[in-house]
Structure 1
Amino acid sequence: MKLEKYRRQQQRAARNRRIILVSGIVGAASVVALLVAVVVLAPQRANYSAGGDGVVIEGVESFENTATHVETPVTYAQSPPAGGEHSATWLNCGEYTQPVPNENAVHALEHGAIWVTYDGSLSAAELETLRSKLPSTYVILSPFGGLPSPIVLSGWNRQLTVDSAADERIPAFFEEYWKASNAPEPGAPCTGAFDGPGKAS
Protein backbone atom coordinates (compact mmCIF):
# COMPACT_ATOMS: atom_id res chain seq x y z
CA MET A 1 0.00 0.00 0.00
CA LYS A 2 2.76 2.43 0.96
CA LEU A 3 4.63 1.64 -2.23
CA GLU A 4 1.50 2.21 -4.33
CA LYS A 5 0.82 5.50 -2.55
CA TYR A 6 4.43 6.59 -3.13
CA ARG A 7 4.15 5.78 -6.84
CA ARG A 8 0.95 7.81 -7.15
CA GLN A 9 2.60 10.75 -5.43
CA GLN A 10 5.59 10.51 -7.77
CA GLN A 11 3.32 10.33 -10.84
CA ARG A 12 1.32 13.32 -9.58
CA ALA A 13 4.52 15.31 -8.96
CA ALA A 14 5.87 14.41 -12.42
CA ARG A 15 2.56 15.46 -14.00
CA ASN A 16 2.63 18.78 -12.13
CA ARG A 17 6.20 19.41 -13.27
CA ARG A 18 5.19 18.75 -16.89
CA ILE A 19 2.24 21.15 -16.58
CA ILE A 20 4.46 23.87 -15.10
CA LEU A 21 7.11 23.30 -17.80
CA VAL A 22 4.57 23.42 -20.66
CA SER A 23 2.91 26.51 -19.15
CA GLY A 24 6.29 28.21 -18.86
CA ILE A 25 7.17 27.43 -22.48
CA VAL A 26 3.78 28.67 -23.72
CA GLY A 27 4.10 31.82 -21.60
CA ALA A 28 7.62 32.54 -22.86
CA ALA A 29 6.54 31.96 -26.46
CA SER A 30 3.65 34.39 -25.97
CA VAL A 31 5.98 37.06 -24.62
CA VAL A 32 8.38 36.60 -27.55
CA ALA A 33 5.48 36.75 -30.04
CA LEU A 34 4.21 39.94 -28.39
CA LEU A 35 7.64 41.57 -28.54
CA VAL A 36 8.03 40.62 -32.21
CA ALA A 37 4.57 42.02 -32.97
CA VAL A 38 5.39 45.29 -31.21
CA VAL A 39 8.65 45.69 -33.13
CA VAL A 40 7.18 44.68 -36.49
CA LEU A 41 3.87 46.50 -36.21
CA ALA A 42 5.05 49.65 -34.43
CA PRO A 43 5.19 52.64 -36.75
CA GLN A 44 8.73 53.17 -37.95
CA ARG A 45 10.06 56.71 -37.78
CA ALA A 46 12.53 58.27 -40.17
CA ASN A 47 15.93 59.57 -39.06
CA TYR A 48 17.25 62.93 -40.20
CA SER A 49 20.22 65.11 -39.38
CA ALA A 50 19.56 68.50 -37.85
CA GLY A 51 20.02 71.38 -40.28
CA GLY A 52 21.10 71.03 -43.87
CA ASP A 53 23.80 71.64 -46.45
CA GLY A 54 22.08 74.24 -48.58
CA VAL A 55 20.71 71.67 -51.02
CA VAL A 56 18.22 73.15 -53.46
CA ILE A 57 14.94 71.21 -53.48
CA GLU A 58 12.65 71.73 -56.44
CA GLY A 59 9.42 73.48 -55.51
CA VAL A 60 10.51 74.86 -52.12
CA GLU A 61 9.39 78.45 -51.61
CA SER A 62 11.30 80.90 -49.39
CA PHE A 63 9.81 83.78 -47.41
CA GLU A 64 11.03 86.61 -45.16
CA ASN A 65 8.69 86.45 -42.16
CA THR A 66 9.85 87.97 -38.89
CA ALA A 67 9.51 86.44 -35.41
CA THR A 68 7.54 88.44 -32.86
CA HIS A 69 5.35 87.28 -29.96
CA VAL A 70 1.79 88.63 -29.95
CA GLU A 71 -1.34 88.00 -27.92
CA THR A 72 -3.84 88.48 -30.75
CA PRO A 73 -4.88 86.39 -33.75
CA VAL A 74 -2.59 86.79 -36.75
CA THR A 75 -3.43 87.04 -40.44
CA TYR A 76 -0.62 85.19 -42.18
CA ALA A 77 0.86 85.84 -45.60
CA GLN A 78 1.05 82.09 -46.30
CA SER A 79 -1.57 79.40 -45.77
CA PRO A 80 -0.56 77.38 -43.89
CA PRO A 81 1.85 79.82 -42.23
CA ALA A 82 5.60 79.40 -42.63
CA GLY A 83 6.65 81.93 -40.01
CA GLY A 84 5.71 85.36 -38.77
CA GLU A 85 4.16 86.77 -35.60
CA HIS A 86 2.99 84.09 -33.21
CA SER A 87 1.79 83.21 -29.73
CA ALA A 88 4.25 83.25 -26.86
CA THR A 89 3.22 79.61 -26.21
CA TRP A 90 4.42 77.00 -28.68
CA LEU A 91 2.37 74.02 -29.81
CA ASN A 92 3.66 70.71 -28.50
CA CYS A 93 4.99 68.65 -31.37
CA GLY A 94 3.17 65.45 -32.31
CA GLU A 95 0.22 64.26 -34.34
CA TYR A 96 -3.16 65.98 -34.21
CA THR A 97 -6.44 64.75 -35.66
CA GLN A 98 -7.94 68.25 -35.73
CA PRO A 99 -6.69 71.58 -37.06
CA VAL A 100 -4.38 73.36 -34.62
CA PRO A 101 -4.04 77.09 -33.86
CA ASN A 102 -1.73 78.75 -36.37
CA GLU A 103 -0.19 81.09 -33.81
CA ASN A 104 1.00 78.20 -31.60
CA ALA A 105 2.18 76.05 -34.50
CA VAL A 106 4.26 78.92 -35.89
CA HIS A 107 6.03 79.21 -32.53
CA ALA A 108 7.01 75.52 -32.91
CA LEU A 109 8.43 76.38 -36.34
CA GLU A 110 10.51 79.04 -34.62
CA HIS A 111 12.09 76.22 -32.59
CA GLY A 112 13.06 74.30 -35.72
CA ALA A 113 10.05 71.99 -36.04
CA ILE A 114 8.47 71.07 -39.36
CA TRP A 115 4.69 71.45 -39.65
CA VAL A 116 3.18 68.85 -41.99
CA THR A 117 -0.38 69.71 -42.94
CA TYR A 118 -2.70 67.57 -45.03
CA ASP A 119 -6.11 67.79 -46.63
CA GLY A 120 -8.82 66.03 -44.64
CA SER A 121 -9.70 63.90 -47.67
CA LEU A 122 -6.27 62.23 -47.67
CA SER A 123 -6.72 58.44 -47.62
CA ALA A 124 -5.72 56.35 -44.63
CA ALA A 125 -3.06 54.64 -46.73
CA GLU A 126 -1.57 57.98 -47.83
CA LEU A 127 -1.61 59.24 -44.25
CA GLU A 128 0.21 56.11 -43.08
CA THR A 129 2.83 56.57 -45.80
CA LEU A 130 3.21 60.19 -44.72
CA ARG A 131 3.70 59.16 -41.08
CA SER A 132 6.50 56.81 -42.11
CA LYS A 133 8.45 59.80 -43.50
CA LEU A 134 8.30 61.75 -40.24
CA PRO A 135 10.90 61.86 -37.46
CA SER A 136 9.92 61.04 -33.88
CA THR A 137 10.27 64.63 -32.66
CA TYR A 138 10.25 68.25 -33.79
CA VAL A 139 7.38 67.63 -36.17
CA ILE A 140 3.68 68.52 -36.15
CA LEU A 141 1.21 66.55 -38.26
CA SER A 142 -2.29 67.96 -38.56
CA PRO A 143 -5.18 68.43 -41.01
CA PHE A 144 -5.62 71.90 -42.49
CA GLY A 145 -8.48 73.36 -44.51
CA GLY A 146 -8.09 74.99 -47.91
CA LEU A 147 -4.61 73.69 -48.74
CA PRO A 148 -3.20 74.39 -52.21
CA SER A 149 -2.23 70.70 -52.50
CA PRO A 150 -2.99 67.49 -50.57
CA ILE A 151 0.14 67.86 -48.40
CA VAL A 152 2.14 70.95 -47.40
CA LEU A 153 5.40 70.94 -45.45
CA SER A 154 6.33 74.14 -43.63
CA GLY A 155 9.59 75.02 -41.90
CA TRP A 156 10.60 78.49 -40.78
CA ASN A 157 10.33 80.63 -43.95
CA ARG A 158 10.36 77.51 -46.14
CA GLN A 159 7.43 75.64 -47.66
CA LEU A 160 6.86 72.73 -50.04
CA THR A 161 3.58 71.54 -51.57
CA VAL A 162 3.27 67.93 -52.78
CA ASP A 163 0.50 65.83 -54.28
CA SER A 164 1.50 62.48 -52.79
CA ALA A 165 2.99 61.11 -49.57
CA ALA A 166 5.36 59.07 -51.75
CA ASP A 167 6.99 62.24 -53.12
CA GLU A 168 10.77 61.85 -52.69
CA ARG A 169 11.06 65.56 -51.84
CA ILE A 170 9.42 65.00 -48.43
CA PRO A 171 12.46 63.32 -46.83
CA ALA A 172 14.72 65.77 -48.70
CA PHE A 173 12.82 68.68 -47.14
CA PHE A 174 13.26 67.20 -43.67
CA GLU A 175 16.94 66.54 -44.24
CA GLU A 176 17.45 70.15 -45.24
CA TYR A 177 15.11 72.13 -42.96
CA TRP A 178 14.36 70.00 -39.87
CA LYS A 179 15.88 71.75 -36.80
CA ALA A 180 17.59 74.06 -39.28
CA SER A 181 19.77 76.96 -38.21
CA ASN A 182 17.64 79.44 -40.19
CA ALA A 183 14.91 79.08 -37.55
CA PRO A 184 15.14 81.87 -34.96
CA GLU A 185 15.43 79.47 -31.99
CA PRO A 186 16.63 76.07 -33.29
CA GLY A 187 16.65 73.38 -30.63
CA ALA A 188 14.35 75.22 -28.21
CA PRO A 189 11.74 72.85 -26.69
CA CYS A 190 9.00 71.28 -28.75
CA THR A 191 7.19 69.82 -25.72
CA GLY A 192 6.00 71.04 -22.34
CA ALA A 193 3.77 73.85 -23.57
CA PHE A 194 0.37 73.70 -25.32
CA ASP A 195 -1.55 70.66 -26.64
CA GLY A 196 -3.91 71.68 -29.40
CA PRO A 197 -7.23 69.93 -30.06
CA GLY A 198 -7.13 66.31 -31.17
CA LYS A 199 -3.65 65.52 -29.82
CA ALA A 200 -3.06 61.88 -30.80
CA SER A 201 0.63 61.38 -29.98
Structure 2
Amino acid sequence: MTQLDLDPTNTRAADDTAAEPARLGRKRDHSRDADILDAAVDVLAEEGYDGMTIDMVAARAKAGKATLYRRWASKGELVIDAVACMKKDDLDLDRLPDTGTLRGDLIGMIKPRTLEEAEKKLQVMAGLMSVLARSPELSDAISQAIIEPRAEVNRILLRRAIERGEIAADCDVDTIALISPSMAAYRTLVLKKPVDREFLVSMIDGVILPAVGIRP
Protein backbone atom coordinates (compact mmCIF):
# COMPACT_ATOMS: atom_id res chain seq x y z
CA MET A 1 0.00 0.00 0.00
CA THR A 2 1.44 3.36 -0.93
CA GLN A 3 1.42 6.64 0.92
CA LEU A 4 -1.06 7.92 -1.66
CA ASP A 5 -3.47 5.15 -0.75
CA LEU A 6 -3.40 6.21 2.89
CA ASP A 7 -3.82 9.94 2.25
CA PRO A 8 -7.25 10.86 3.68
CA THR A 9 -7.49 13.79 1.28
CA ASN A 10 -7.34 11.47 -1.71
CA THR A 11 -10.85 9.98 -1.75
CA ARG A 12 -10.53 8.18 -5.04
CA ALA A 13 -7.22 6.55 -4.16
CA ALA A 14 -8.54 5.38 -0.80
CA ASP A 15 -11.75 4.06 -2.33
CA ASP A 16 -9.80 2.09 -4.91
CA THR A 17 -7.58 0.36 -2.35
CA ALA A 18 -9.51 -2.89 -2.64
CA ALA A 19 -6.98 -5.42 -3.81
CA GLU A 20 -5.32 -5.83 -0.42
CA PRO A 21 -7.63 -4.86 2.47
CA ALA A 22 -5.53 -4.69 5.61
CA ARG A 23 -5.63 -5.57 9.30
CA LEU A 24 -8.53 -8.06 9.33
CA GLY A 25 -8.16 -8.72 13.03
CA ARG A 26 -7.99 -5.08 14.02
CA LYS A 27 -9.90 -4.39 17.25
CA ARG A 28 -12.25 -1.44 17.49
CA ASP A 29 -15.10 -0.26 19.68
CA HIS A 30 -17.87 -1.39 17.35
CA SER A 31 -20.59 0.14 19.51
CA ARG A 32 -19.09 3.55 18.81
CA ASP A 33 -18.82 2.89 15.08
CA ALA A 34 -22.14 1.08 14.74
CA ASP A 35 -23.94 3.74 12.68
CA ILE A 36 -21.08 4.01 10.19
CA LEU A 37 -20.72 0.25 9.81
CA ASP A 38 -24.47 -0.23 9.37
CA ALA A 39 -24.45 2.49 6.72
CA ALA A 40 -21.53 0.79 4.96
CA VAL A 41 -23.46 -2.50 4.84
CA ASP A 42 -26.54 -0.75 3.42
CA VAL A 43 -24.55 1.04 0.72
CA LEU A 44 -22.64 -2.12 -0.11
CA ALA A 45 -25.88 -4.10 -0.54
CA GLU A 46 -27.33 -1.38 -2.79
CA GLU A 47 -24.33 -0.30 -4.87
CA GLY A 48 -21.86 -3.19 -4.75
CA TYR A 49 -18.20 -2.79 -3.82
CA ASP A 50 -17.13 -1.09 -7.05
CA GLY A 51 -19.98 1.43 -6.88
CA MET A 52 -19.60 2.17 -3.20
CA THR A 53 -17.68 5.26 -2.08
CA ILE A 54 -16.62 6.69 1.27
CA ASP A 55 -18.75 9.75 0.44
CA MET A 56 -21.86 7.57 0.16
CA VAL A 57 -21.23 5.92 3.50
CA ALA A 58 -20.54 9.23 5.22
CA ALA A 59 -23.75 10.71 3.85
CA ARG A 60 -25.81 7.65 4.87
CA ALA A 61 -24.34 7.69 8.38
CA LYS A 62 -24.59 11.50 8.63
CA ALA A 63 -20.88 11.62 9.47
CA GLY A 64 -17.97 13.61 8.10
CA LYS A 65 -15.54 11.94 5.73
CA ALA A 66 -12.68 12.89 8.03
CA THR A 67 -14.31 10.83 10.79
CA LEU A 68 -14.33 7.75 8.56
CA TYR A 69 -10.76 8.24 7.36
CA ARG A 70 -9.46 8.62 10.91
CA ARG A 71 -10.76 5.10 11.63
CA TRP A 72 -10.37 3.35 8.28
CA ALA A 73 -7.52 4.17 5.91
CA SER A 74 -9.30 2.71 2.87
CA LYS A 75 -12.63 1.50 1.59
CA GLY A 76 -11.32 -2.06 1.81
CA GLU A 77 -10.69 -1.79 5.55
CA LEU A 78 -14.12 -0.25 6.14
CA VAL A 79 -15.84 -3.03 4.20
CA ILE A 80 -14.01 -5.77 6.10
CA ASP A 81 -15.07 -4.30 9.45
CA ALA A 82 -18.64 -3.72 8.22
CA VAL A 83 -18.98 -7.32 7.03
CA ALA A 84 -17.46 -8.63 10.26
CA CYS A 85 -19.99 -6.61 12.28
CA MET A 86 -22.84 -8.26 10.41
CA LYS A 87 -22.23 -11.17 12.79
CA LYS A 88 -23.88 -9.12 15.53
CA ASP A 89 -27.17 -10.24 13.96
CA ASP A 90 -26.25 -13.91 14.29
CA LEU A 91 -28.91 -16.27 15.54
CA ASP A 92 -29.07 -17.00 19.27
CA LEU A 93 -27.64 -20.53 19.46
CA ASP A 94 -29.09 -20.95 22.96
CA ARG A 95 -32.66 -20.40 21.74
CA LEU A 96 -32.97 -22.64 18.71
CA PRO A 97 -36.24 -24.51 18.03
CA ASP A 98 -36.51 -27.89 19.78
CA THR A 99 -39.59 -29.58 18.35
CA GLY A 100 -38.45 -33.19 18.77
CA THR A 101 -37.82 -33.75 15.05
CA LEU A 102 -35.14 -32.56 12.65
CA ARG A 103 -37.75 -31.38 10.14
CA GLY A 104 -39.64 -29.46 12.80
CA ASP A 105 -36.46 -27.77 13.99
CA LEU A 106 -35.38 -26.81 10.46
CA ILE A 107 -38.84 -25.49 9.59
CA GLY A 108 -38.89 -23.61 12.89
CA MET A 109 -35.83 -21.66 11.77
CA ILE A 110 -37.74 -20.14 8.84
CA LYS A 111 -39.00 -16.83 10.23
CA PRO A 112 -39.76 -13.55 8.41
CA ARG A 113 -37.04 -11.59 10.22
CA THR A 114 -34.50 -14.37 9.65
CA LEU A 115 -35.35 -14.42 5.94
CA GLU A 116 -34.95 -10.64 5.67
CA GLU A 117 -31.55 -10.70 7.38
CA ALA A 118 -30.38 -13.62 5.22
CA GLU A 119 -31.51 -11.83 2.05
CA LYS A 120 -29.61 -8.67 3.00
CA LYS A 121 -26.44 -10.64 3.74
CA LEU A 122 -26.65 -12.36 0.38
CA GLN A 123 -27.11 -8.99 -1.33
CA VAL A 124 -23.91 -7.86 0.37
CA MET A 125 -22.17 -10.99 -0.89
CA ALA A 126 -23.41 -10.23 -4.40
CA GLY A 127 -22.04 -6.71 -4.10
CA LEU A 128 -18.62 -8.11 -3.20
CA MET A 129 -18.30 -10.66 -5.99
CA SER A 130 -16.09 -8.40 -8.11
CA VAL A 131 -13.41 -8.17 -5.42
CA LEU A 132 -13.54 -11.55 -3.65
CA ALA A 133 -11.14 -13.34 -5.99
CA ARG A 134 -8.38 -10.82 -5.40
CA SER A 135 -8.95 -10.31 -1.66
CA PRO A 136 -8.56 -13.48 0.44
CA GLU A 137 -9.12 -11.48 3.64
CA LEU A 138 -12.49 -10.32 2.36
CA SER A 139 -13.43 -13.88 1.35
CA ASP A 140 -12.74 -15.07 4.90
CA ALA A 141 -14.78 -12.25 6.38
CA ILE A 142 -17.72 -13.01 4.08
CA SER A 143 -17.63 -16.71 4.95
CA GLN A 144 -17.59 -16.01 8.68
CA ALA A 145 -20.38 -13.42 8.50
CA ILE A 146 -22.75 -15.00 5.97
CA ILE A 147 -22.17 -18.73 5.46
CA GLU A 148 -20.78 -19.96 8.79
CA PRO A 149 -23.58 -18.76 11.15
CA ARG A 150 -26.28 -20.67 9.25
CA ALA A 151 -24.04 -23.71 8.83
CA GLU A 152 -23.36 -23.76 12.59
CA VAL A 153 -27.10 -23.73 13.31
CA ASN A 154 -27.57 -26.68 10.95
CA ARG A 155 -24.71 -28.56 12.63
CA ILE A 156 -26.34 -28.11 16.02
CA LEU A 157 -29.72 -29.33 14.78
CA LEU A 158 -28.17 -32.32 13.02
CA ARG A 159 -26.15 -33.36 16.07
CA ARG A 160 -29.27 -33.06 18.19
CA ALA A 161 -31.06 -35.40 15.78
CA ILE A 162 -28.16 -37.88 16.08
CA GLU A 163 -28.34 -37.75 19.88
CA ARG A 164 -32.03 -38.64 19.92
CA GLY A 165 -31.48 -41.48 17.43
CA GLU A 166 -33.44 -39.87 14.61
CA ILE A 167 -30.57 -40.06 12.11
CA ALA A 168 -27.46 -42.24 11.85
CA ALA A 169 -24.40 -41.36 13.93
CA ASP A 170 -22.15 -41.55 10.85
CA CYS A 171 -24.11 -38.82 9.06
CA ASP A 172 -21.77 -36.33 7.37
CA VAL A 173 -22.83 -33.40 9.52
CA ASP A 174 -20.32 -30.87 8.18
CA THR A 175 -21.22 -31.42 4.53
CA ILE A 176 -24.97 -31.54 5.02
CA ALA A 177 -24.89 -28.41 7.20
CA LEU A 178 -23.52 -26.45 4.25
CA ILE A 179 -26.23 -27.50 1.79
CA SER A 180 -28.84 -24.86 2.56
CA PRO A 181 -26.50 -21.83 2.97
CA SER A 182 -24.62 -22.83 -0.18
CA MET A 183 -27.79 -23.28 -2.22
CA ALA A 184 -29.20 -20.03 -0.87
CA ALA A 185 -26.07 -18.22 -2.03
CA TYR A 186 -26.28 -19.88 -5.46
CA ARG A 187 -29.95 -18.97 -5.80
CA THR A 188 -29.27 -15.33 -4.96
CA LEU A 189 -25.98 -14.78 -6.78
CA VAL A 190 -26.45 -16.91 -9.88
CA LEU A 191 -30.19 -17.41 -10.38
CA LYS A 192 -31.11 -13.93 -9.09
CA LYS A 193 -34.10 -15.33 -7.20
CA PRO A 194 -35.23 -14.65 -3.62
CA VAL A 195 -34.57 -17.08 -0.80
CA ASP A 196 -38.14 -17.45 0.44
CA ARG A 197 -40.01 -19.91 2.65
CA GLU A 198 -41.12 -22.06 -0.29
CA PHE A 199 -37.53 -22.50 -1.46
CA LEU A 200 -36.23 -23.37 2.00
CA VAL A 201 -38.98 -25.91 2.66
CA SER A 202 -38.25 -27.54 -0.69
CA MET A 203 -34.57 -27.77 0.30
CA ILE A 204 -35.46 -29.37 3.63
CA ASP A 205 -37.91 -31.92 2.22
CA GLY A 206 -36.25 -32.58 -1.11
CA VAL A 207 -32.54 -32.52 -0.24
CA ILE A 208 -31.58 -32.35 3.44
CA LEU A 209 -33.98 -34.94 4.90
CA PRO A 210 -33.30 -37.51 2.16
CA ALA A 211 -29.57 -36.91 2.63
CA VAL A 212 -29.80 -37.99 6.28
CA GLY A 213 -32.12 -40.92 5.52
CA ILE A 214 -35.46 -39.40 6.54
CA ARG A 215 -38.48 -39.66 4.27
CA PRO A 216 -40.48 -36.43 4.57
Same fold (TM over 0.5): no
TM-score by length of 2: 0.23
Greater length-normalized contact order (CA 8 Å, ≥ 6 residues apart): 1
TM-score by length of 1: 0.24
Structure ID, larger Rg: 1
Higher strand share: 1
